Amino acid sequence: MAALHLNRSLLSPPAGNRFFKKSRPPVAPKFVCYAPQHTNKWKRDYTSVMIVPTGVGAAIGGFAGDALPVARALSSVVDCLITHPNVLNAAMLYWPMLNVLYVEGHALDRFAEGLWVLQPVHQNKVGLVLDAGIEEDLRIRHLQVADATRASLGLPVVEYTVTDTPLEVEKWIDCKSGQSTGAIKHPDSLLRAVQTLVNRAQVNAIAVVGRFPEDDDGDDLDDYRQGKGIDVLAGVEAIISHLVVKEFQIPCAHAPAVSPLPLSQCLSPKSAAEEIGYTFLPCVLAGLSKAPQYLIKSPESLEKRSICASDVDSVILPMNACGGDGALAFARSKRNKPLIICVEENETVLNDTPDELGINAMKVSNYWEALGVIAAHKAGIDPYSLRRDHIDKIRRTSIMPAKNGCAASRAIPIN
Protein backbone atom coordinates (compact mmCIF):
# COMPACT_ATOMS: atom_id res chain seq x y z
CA MET A 1 0.00 0.00 0.00
CA ALA A 2 1.29 3.45 -0.82
CA ALA A 3 2.42 5.55 2.13
CA LEU A 4 1.18 9.10 2.68
CA HIS A 5 3.43 11.69 4.34
CA LEU A 6 2.11 15.02 5.63
CA ASN A 7 4.51 17.94 5.43
CA ARG A 8 3.62 19.55 8.80
CA SER A 9 6.13 22.39 8.38
CA LEU A 10 3.67 24.04 6.01
CA LEU A 11 0.90 24.23 8.65
CA SER A 12 2.68 26.56 11.09
CA PRO A 13 4.81 29.71 10.73
CA PRO A 14 8.57 29.38 10.69
CA ALA A 15 10.19 30.05 14.06
CA GLY A 16 11.20 33.69 14.52
CA ASN A 17 9.46 34.95 11.38
CA ARG A 18 8.13 38.40 12.45
CA PHE A 19 6.57 39.01 9.04
CA PHE A 20 4.17 36.10 9.33
CA LYS A 21 0.59 37.35 9.55
CA LYS A 22 -2.03 35.36 11.41
CA SER A 23 -4.68 36.52 8.95
CA ARG A 24 -2.96 34.77 6.07
CA PRO A 25 -5.09 31.85 4.83
CA PRO A 26 -3.68 28.49 5.80
CA VAL A 27 -1.44 26.81 3.26
CA ALA A 28 -2.80 23.56 1.91
CA PRO A 29 -0.87 20.58 3.31
CA LYS A 30 1.53 18.94 0.95
CA PHE A 31 1.17 15.19 0.55
CA VAL A 32 3.87 12.97 -0.88
CA CYS A 33 2.72 9.64 -2.23
CA TYR A 34 5.13 6.84 -2.98
CA ALA A 35 5.03 3.10 -3.45
CA PRO A 36 7.55 0.92 -1.64
CA GLN A 37 10.38 -0.22 -3.85
CA HIS A 38 10.28 -3.97 -4.43
CA THR A 39 13.38 -5.61 -5.79
CA ASN A 40 14.10 -9.16 -6.86
CA LYS A 41 17.74 -9.04 -5.79
CA TRP A 42 17.35 -12.51 -4.27
CA LYS A 43 15.75 -14.03 -7.38
CA ARG A 44 17.42 -14.61 -10.72
CA ASP A 45 15.75 -13.59 -13.96
CA TYR A 46 13.03 -15.87 -15.31
CA THR A 47 14.07 -17.02 -18.80
CA SER A 48 11.79 -18.65 -21.36
CA VAL A 49 12.48 -20.08 -24.83
CA MET A 50 9.84 -19.94 -27.57
CA ILE A 51 10.26 -22.28 -30.54
CA VAL A 52 8.19 -22.47 -33.73
CA PRO A 53 10.11 -24.60 -36.27
CA THR A 54 10.60 -23.14 -39.74
CA GLY A 55 8.85 -24.48 -42.83
CA VAL A 56 6.57 -26.98 -41.08
CA GLY A 57 3.25 -25.22 -41.72
CA ALA A 58 2.73 -24.07 -38.13
CA ALA A 59 -0.79 -22.69 -37.71
CA ILE A 60 0.76 -19.85 -35.67
CA GLY A 61 4.23 -18.83 -36.78
CA GLY A 62 4.20 -20.54 -40.16
CA PHE A 63 3.54 -17.38 -42.14
CA ALA A 64 4.83 -13.78 -42.13
CA GLY A 65 5.68 -13.10 -38.50
CA ASP A 66 2.28 -14.20 -37.24
CA ALA A 67 3.83 -15.59 -34.02
CA LEU A 68 5.20 -12.14 -33.18
CA PRO A 69 2.12 -11.22 -31.06
CA VAL A 70 2.77 -14.32 -28.94
CA ALA A 71 6.39 -13.25 -28.45
CA ARG A 72 5.27 -9.75 -27.49
CA ALA A 73 2.87 -11.14 -24.89
CA LEU A 74 5.47 -13.55 -23.51
CA SER A 75 8.05 -10.78 -23.24
CA SER A 76 5.72 -8.88 -20.91
CA VAL A 77 5.51 -11.87 -18.55
CA VAL A 78 9.08 -13.19 -18.44
CA ASP A 79 12.33 -11.38 -17.65
CA CYS A 80 14.14 -12.76 -20.71
CA LEU A 81 12.70 -14.40 -23.82
CA ILE A 82 14.93 -16.34 -26.21
CA THR A 83 13.49 -17.06 -29.64
CA HIS A 84 14.53 -17.26 -33.28
CA PRO A 85 14.04 -15.28 -36.53
CA ASN A 86 11.06 -17.36 -37.70
CA VAL A 87 9.11 -16.04 -34.71
CA LEU A 88 10.28 -12.42 -34.86
CA ASN A 89 10.67 -11.71 -38.59
CA ALA A 90 7.70 -10.14 -40.37
CA ALA A 91 9.32 -8.88 -43.59
CA MET A 92 8.74 -5.11 -43.57
CA LEU A 93 7.44 -5.25 -39.98
CA TYR A 94 9.15 -5.94 -36.66
CA TRP A 95 8.76 -4.94 -33.02
CA PRO A 96 11.67 -3.93 -30.76
CA MET A 97 11.63 -5.69 -27.38
CA LEU A 98 14.47 -5.02 -24.96
CA ASN A 99 14.25 -8.35 -23.16
CA VAL A 100 14.04 -10.60 -26.25
CA LEU A 101 17.12 -12.33 -27.68
CA TYR A 102 17.15 -12.96 -31.46
CA VAL A 103 18.95 -16.31 -31.84
CA GLU A 104 19.39 -18.20 -35.12
CA GLY A 105 18.06 -21.78 -35.17
CA HIS A 106 21.39 -23.65 -35.37
CA ALA A 107 22.76 -21.52 -32.54
CA LEU A 108 19.63 -22.15 -30.48
CA ASP A 109 20.16 -25.91 -30.85
CA ARG A 110 23.81 -25.67 -29.75
CA PHE A 111 22.73 -23.44 -26.85
CA ALA A 112 20.10 -25.96 -25.75
CA GLU A 113 22.68 -28.76 -25.89
CA GLY A 114 24.90 -26.80 -23.51
CA LEU A 115 27.70 -26.33 -26.06
CA TRP A 116 27.27 -22.60 -26.65
CA VAL A 117 26.26 -19.69 -24.43
CA LEU A 118 24.64 -16.40 -25.38
CA GLN A 119 26.34 -13.09 -24.65
CA PRO A 120 23.96 -10.10 -24.86
CA VAL A 121 25.37 -7.04 -26.62
CA HIS A 122 24.60 -3.35 -26.98
CA GLN A 123 25.27 -3.37 -30.70
CA ASN A 124 26.58 -5.57 -33.52
CA LYS A 125 28.38 -4.48 -36.66
CA VAL A 126 26.17 -5.96 -39.36
CA GLY A 127 27.47 -6.97 -42.79
CA LEU A 128 25.20 -7.56 -45.79
CA VAL A 129 25.78 -10.30 -48.38
CA LEU A 130 23.88 -9.99 -51.68
CA ASP A 131 23.55 -12.90 -54.11
CA ALA A 132 25.24 -12.18 -57.45
CA GLY A 133 22.09 -13.59 -59.06
CA ILE A 134 19.98 -10.62 -57.94
CA GLU A 135 19.02 -8.29 -60.81
CA GLU A 136 20.27 -4.70 -60.73
CA ASP A 137 16.90 -3.10 -59.89
CA LEU A 138 16.20 -5.57 -57.10
CA ARG A 139 19.74 -5.18 -55.76
CA ILE A 140 19.28 -1.41 -55.56
CA ARG A 141 16.01 -1.88 -53.66
CA HIS A 142 17.83 -3.93 -51.02
CA LEU A 143 20.65 -1.43 -50.72
CA GLN A 144 18.09 1.34 -50.25
CA VAL A 145 16.56 -0.65 -47.40
CA ALA A 146 19.99 -0.96 -45.77
CA ASP A 147 20.58 2.80 -46.11
CA ALA A 148 17.08 3.55 -44.79
CA THR A 149 17.66 1.50 -41.64
CA ARG A 150 20.99 3.26 -41.13
CA ALA A 151 19.53 6.76 -41.53
CA SER A 152 16.09 6.33 -39.95
CA LEU A 153 16.79 3.69 -37.28
CA GLY A 154 20.50 4.22 -36.71
CA LEU A 155 21.28 0.56 -37.34
CA PRO A 156 24.98 -0.31 -37.61
CA VAL A 157 24.90 -1.88 -41.10
CA VAL A 158 28.50 -1.09 -41.98
CA GLU A 159 29.30 -2.71 -45.34
CA TYR A 160 28.00 -5.03 -48.05
CA THR A 161 29.47 -7.38 -50.61
CA VAL A 162 28.20 -9.40 -53.56
CA THR A 163 28.98 -13.11 -53.96
CA ASP A 164 31.46 -13.95 -56.70
CA THR A 165 29.05 -16.55 -58.12
CA PRO A 166 25.23 -16.71 -58.13
CA LEU A 167 24.11 -18.94 -55.27
CA GLU A 168 21.39 -20.63 -57.36
CA VAL A 169 18.88 -21.31 -54.61
CA GLU A 170 16.55 -24.31 -55.00
CA LYS A 171 13.42 -24.97 -52.97
CA TRP A 172 10.89 -27.77 -52.70
CA ILE A 173 8.49 -29.58 -50.38
CA ASP A 174 9.73 -32.88 -48.95
CA CYS A 175 7.24 -35.54 -50.04
CA LYS A 176 7.69 -37.68 -46.92
CA SER A 177 7.65 -35.10 -44.14
CA GLY A 178 5.66 -32.33 -45.83
CA GLN A 179 8.28 -29.77 -44.74
CA SER A 180 9.78 -27.17 -47.03
CA THR A 181 13.47 -27.61 -47.78
CA GLY A 182 15.99 -26.87 -50.52
CA ALA A 183 19.64 -26.28 -51.33
CA ILE A 184 22.12 -23.76 -52.73
CA LYS A 185 24.35 -24.93 -55.55
CA HIS A 186 27.31 -22.72 -54.63
CA PRO A 187 27.65 -22.60 -50.82
CA ASP A 188 31.39 -21.85 -51.09
CA SER A 189 30.58 -18.55 -52.79
CA LEU A 190 28.44 -17.55 -49.82
CA LEU A 191 31.13 -18.51 -47.31
CA ARG A 192 33.78 -16.55 -49.20
CA ALA A 193 31.58 -13.45 -49.16
CA VAL A 194 31.00 -13.76 -45.41
CA GLN A 195 34.71 -14.30 -44.81
CA THR A 196 35.49 -11.12 -46.75
CA LEU A 197 33.17 -9.03 -44.57
CA VAL A 198 34.47 -10.60 -41.36
CA ASN A 199 38.10 -10.00 -42.31
CA ARG A 200 37.89 -6.54 -43.92
CA ALA A 201 35.02 -4.86 -42.09
CA GLN A 202 35.26 -6.80 -38.79
CA VAL A 203 31.50 -7.44 -38.81
CA ASN A 204 30.09 -9.75 -36.16
CA ALA A 205 26.61 -10.37 -37.63
CA ILE A 206 25.58 -11.25 -41.18
CA ALA A 207 22.42 -10.63 -43.21
CA VAL A 208 22.15 -12.71 -46.39
CA VAL A 209 19.87 -11.97 -49.33
CA GLY A 210 19.61 -14.86 -51.78
CA ARG A 211 17.81 -14.68 -55.13
CA PHE A 212 14.95 -17.17 -55.07
CA PRO A 213 13.59 -18.72 -58.27
CA GLU A 214 10.44 -17.23 -59.77
CA ASP A 215 8.96 -20.57 -60.85
CA ASP A 216 5.28 -20.83 -60.10
CA ASP A 217 4.64 -22.87 -56.97
CA GLY A 218 0.98 -23.23 -57.99
CA ASP A 219 -1.35 -24.35 -55.25
CA ASP A 220 1.37 -24.15 -52.55
CA LEU A 221 1.88 -20.42 -53.13
CA ASP A 222 -1.85 -19.72 -53.39
CA ASP A 223 -2.50 -21.60 -50.13
CA TYR A 224 0.26 -19.73 -48.35
CA ARG A 225 -1.08 -16.34 -49.46
CA GLN A 226 -4.46 -17.37 -48.09
CA GLY A 227 -3.02 -18.35 -44.69
CA LYS A 228 -2.89 -22.10 -45.30
CA GLY A 229 -0.28 -24.69 -46.20
CA ILE A 230 3.53 -24.40 -46.11
CA ASP A 231 5.97 -21.52 -46.53
CA VAL A 232 7.94 -22.91 -49.49
CA LEU A 233 10.80 -20.43 -48.95
CA ALA A 234 11.38 -21.04 -45.25
CA GLY A 235 13.16 -24.40 -45.33
CA VAL A 236 16.07 -23.37 -47.52
CA GLU A 237 16.30 -20.03 -45.72
CA ALA A 238 17.11 -21.98 -42.56
CA ILE A 239 19.70 -24.03 -44.45
CA ILE A 240 21.46 -20.83 -45.56
CA SER A 241 21.63 -19.28 -42.10
CA HIS A 242 22.65 -22.60 -40.50
CA LEU A 243 25.58 -22.82 -42.93
CA VAL A 244 26.92 -19.39 -41.96
CA VAL A 245 26.40 -19.80 -38.20
CA LYS A 246 28.00 -23.24 -38.17
CA GLU A 247 31.08 -21.96 -40.03
CA PHE A 248 31.58 -18.56 -38.38
CA GLN A 249 29.72 -18.80 -35.05
CA ILE A 250 28.16 -15.35 -35.44
CA PRO A 251 24.50 -14.27 -35.72
CA CYS A 252 23.00 -14.64 -39.20
CA ALA A 253 19.56 -14.37 -40.77
CA HIS A 254 18.30 -14.57 -44.34
CA ALA A 255 15.90 -12.50 -46.44
CA PRO A 256 14.80 -13.87 -49.83
CA ALA A 257 14.93 -11.66 -52.92
CA VAL A 258 11.80 -12.19 -55.03
CA SER A 259 9.80 -10.15 -57.50
CA PRO A 260 6.58 -8.60 -56.14
CA LEU A 261 3.57 -10.87 -56.59
CA PRO A 262 0.40 -9.80 -58.42
CA LEU A 263 -2.15 -8.03 -56.25
CA SER A 264 -4.58 -10.42 -54.56
CA GLN A 265 -7.90 -9.60 -52.93
CA CYS A 266 -7.93 -12.97 -51.13
CA LEU A 267 -4.77 -12.31 -49.13
CA SER A 268 -4.69 -13.55 -45.55
CA PRO A 269 -3.63 -11.06 -42.86
CA LYS A 270 -1.13 -13.70 -41.68
CA SER A 271 0.75 -13.43 -44.99
CA ALA A 272 0.25 -9.74 -45.68
CA ALA A 273 3.52 -8.48 -44.15
CA GLU A 274 5.43 -9.96 -47.09
CA GLU A 275 3.43 -8.04 -49.70
CA ILE A 276 3.69 -4.45 -48.50
CA GLY A 277 7.19 -3.72 -49.81
CA TYR A 278 9.93 -4.75 -52.20
CA THR A 279 12.09 -6.70 -49.73
CA PHE A 280 11.92 -8.78 -46.56
CA LEU A 281 15.15 -7.24 -45.24
CA PRO A 282 14.09 -4.61 -42.61
CA CYS A 283 13.18 -7.09 -39.87
CA VAL A 284 16.40 -9.06 -40.43
CA LEU A 285 18.64 -6.00 -40.04
CA ALA A 286 16.73 -4.86 -36.95
CA GLY A 287 17.02 -8.30 -35.33
CA LEU A 288 20.71 -8.78 -36.11
CA SER A 289 21.67 -5.31 -34.85
CA LYS A 290 21.25 -6.48 -31.22
CA ALA A 291 21.36 -10.28 -31.53
CA PRO A 292 23.49 -11.92 -28.81
CA GLN A 293 26.90 -13.27 -29.72
CA TYR A 294 27.56 -17.02 -29.58
CA LEU A 295 30.40 -18.24 -27.38
CA ILE A 296 31.65 -21.77 -26.82
CA LYS A 297 30.80 -22.71 -23.26
CA SER A 298 33.88 -22.41 -21.04
CA PRO A 299 34.82 -20.96 -17.65
CA GLU A 300 35.95 -17.81 -19.47
CA SER A 301 32.68 -17.36 -21.39
CA LEU A 302 30.59 -17.93 -18.26
CA GLU A 303 32.43 -15.06 -16.56
CA LYS A 304 31.16 -12.64 -19.22
CA ARG A 305 27.59 -12.53 -17.84
CA SER A 306 26.48 -14.88 -20.57
CA ILE A 307 23.29 -16.97 -20.57
CA CYS A 308 23.52 -20.75 -20.64
CA ALA A 309 20.98 -23.53 -21.07
CA SER A 310 20.72 -24.16 -17.32
CA ASP A 311 19.33 -20.62 -16.95
CA VAL A 312 16.20 -21.52 -18.96
CA ASP A 313 13.07 -21.97 -16.84
CA SER A 314 10.50 -22.89 -19.48
CA VAL A 315 10.24 -23.85 -23.15
CA ILE A 316 7.10 -23.31 -25.21
CA LEU A 317 6.54 -24.98 -28.59
CA PRO A 318 3.86 -26.56 -30.81
CA MET A 319 2.43 -29.86 -29.56
CA ASN A 320 3.58 -31.99 -32.51
CA ALA A 321 6.94 -30.28 -33.12
CA CYS A 322 9.01 -31.59 -30.20
CA GLY A 323 11.55 -33.56 -32.25
CA GLY A 324 14.07 -30.83 -33.04
CA ASP A 325 17.58 -30.93 -31.59
CA GLY A 326 16.94 -27.97 -29.33
CA ALA A 327 13.59 -29.20 -28.02
CA LEU A 328 14.98 -32.66 -27.29
CA ALA A 329 18.03 -31.24 -25.54
CA PHE A 330 15.89 -29.12 -23.23
CA ALA A 331 13.49 -32.00 -22.57
CA ARG A 332 16.31 -34.40 -21.68
CA SER A 333 18.28 -31.97 -19.56
CA LYS A 334 19.35 -33.43 -16.23
CA ARG A 335 20.35 -30.15 -14.57
CA ASN A 336 17.75 -27.44 -13.92
CA LYS A 337 15.35 -29.09 -16.35
CA PRO A 338 12.96 -26.46 -17.71
CA LEU A 339 9.19 -26.77 -17.79
CA ILE A 340 8.19 -27.95 -21.29
CA ILE A 341 4.88 -26.44 -22.45
CA CYS A 342 3.22 -27.80 -25.61
CA VAL A 343 0.47 -25.88 -27.39
CA GLU A 344 -2.23 -28.03 -29.02
CA GLU A 345 -3.73 -25.25 -31.16
CA ASN A 346 -0.46 -24.62 -32.99
CA GLU A 347 -0.56 -27.60 -35.33
CA THR A 348 2.22 -28.44 -37.83
CA VAL A 349 2.77 -31.11 -40.50
CA LEU A 350 4.99 -33.02 -38.06
CA ASN A 351 3.99 -35.77 -35.64
CA ASP A 352 6.68 -35.35 -33.00
CA THR A 353 4.45 -35.25 -29.92
CA PRO A 354 5.65 -35.51 -26.32
CA ASP A 355 3.95 -38.91 -26.00
CA GLU A 356 5.70 -40.25 -29.11
CA LEU A 357 9.10 -39.06 -27.84
CA GLY A 358 8.66 -39.90 -24.17
CA ILE A 359 8.85 -36.25 -23.08
CA ASN A 360 7.30 -35.08 -19.83
CA ALA A 361 5.43 -31.95 -20.88
CA MET A 362 2.56 -29.77 -19.76
CA LYS A 363 -0.09 -29.70 -22.49
CA VAL A 364 -2.16 -26.55 -23.00
CA SER A 365 -4.89 -25.80 -25.50
CA ASN A 366 -3.58 -22.45 -26.74
CA TYR A 367 -1.12 -19.64 -26.10
CA TRP A 368 -3.60 -17.94 -23.76
CA GLU A 369 -3.25 -20.88 -21.40
CA ALA A 370 0.49 -21.04 -21.96
CA LEU A 371 0.88 -17.44 -20.78
CA GLY A 372 -1.03 -18.28 -17.60
CA VAL A 373 1.13 -21.34 -16.94
CA ILE A 374 4.33 -19.32 -17.37
CA ALA A 375 3.03 -16.51 -15.12
CA ALA A 376 2.25 -19.06 -12.38
CA HIS A 377 5.57 -20.86 -12.85
CA LYS A 378 7.47 -17.57 -12.59
CA ALA A 379 5.59 -16.75 -9.38
CA GLY A 380 6.63 -20.08 -7.85
CA ILE A 381 3.10 -21.47 -8.03
CA ASP A 382 2.15 -24.95 -9.22
CA PRO A 383 0.15 -24.15 -12.40
CA TYR A 384 -2.21 -27.05 -11.67
CA SER A 385 -3.31 -25.34 -8.46
CA LEU A 386 -5.08 -22.76 -10.63
CA ARG A 387 -7.35 -25.44 -12.12
CA ARG A 388 -10.43 -27.02 -10.63
CA ASP A 389 -9.76 -30.40 -8.96
CA HIS A 390 -6.26 -30.71 -10.45
CA ILE A 391 -4.41 -31.11 -7.14
CA ASP A 392 -4.41 -34.68 -5.81
CA LYS A 393 -3.42 -35.79 -2.32
CA ILE A 394 0.30 -35.75 -1.75
CA ARG A 395 2.06 -39.04 -2.36
CA ARG A 396 4.33 -40.81 0.10
CA THR A 397 7.64 -42.28 -0.99
CA SER A 398 8.55 -45.49 0.83
CA ILE A 399 12.13 -46.70 1.05
CA MET A 400 12.75 -50.39 0.48
CA PRO A 401 16.08 -52.23 0.57
CA ALA A 402 17.31 -53.34 -2.83
CA LYS A 403 18.96 -56.67 -3.65
CA ASN A 404 22.39 -55.10 -4.02
CA GLY A 405 22.14 -53.50 -0.61
CA CYS A 406 21.26 -50.03 -1.88
CA ALA A 407 18.02 -48.35 -0.93
CA ALA A 408 15.27 -47.96 -3.53
CA SER A 409 12.24 -45.71 -3.32
CA ARG A 410 8.65 -46.20 -4.38
CA ALA A 411 5.94 -43.52 -4.44
CA ILE A 412 2.57 -44.48 -3.01
CA PRO A 413 -0.52 -42.28 -2.65
CA ILE A 414 -1.80 -41.25 0.79
CA ASN A 415 -5.36 -42.47 1.34
Q: Give the start-end residues of each E strand in 274-406.
A: 293-296, 312-318, 339-343, 362-364, 395-401
For the CA atoms of 243, 248, 253, 256, what is the dihedral angle to 10 degrees?
A: -50
Alpha carbon distance 338, 234 (integer Å): 28
Q: What is the pLDDT of residue 310?
A: 95
pLDDT digits over 276-286, tens only?
Answer: 989 999 999 99
Is residue 87 over pLDDT 50?
yes
pLDDT digits over 129-183, tens only?
Answer: 999 999 999 999 999 999 999 999 999 999 999 999 999 999 999 999 999 999 9
Is residue 36 over pLDDT 50?
no
Q: What is the pLDDT of residue 407?
A: 54
What are the residue ranges of helices labelled H in 202-353?
A: 219-225, 234-248, 281-289, 299-302, 325-331
Alpha carbon distance 315, 326 (integer Å): 10
Tell me the pLDDT of the chain averaged across its residues.
88
> Nearest Cα to 103, choosing from 83, 122, 121?
83
pLDDT digits over 50-77, tens only?
Answer: 999 999 999 999 999 999 999 999 999 9
What residues have CB less than 8 Å from 175, skipping those under 6 apart?
A: none
Which position has the higher pLDDT, 188 or 274? 188
- C-alpha Rg value of the chain to the nearest Å: 27
Classify residue 42 as exposed, middle or buried by CB count within 10 Å of its CB (0-12, 13-18, 19+). exposed
Longest CA pairwise span in the chain (Å): 97
Phi, psi of 80 (to 5 degrees): -140, 130
Is residue 35 over pLDDT 80?
no
Alpha carbon distance 264, 287 (integer Å): 29
Show me where the domains of the chain are located.
Answer: 47-296, 315-377
Contact 415, 395 (CB under 8 A): no
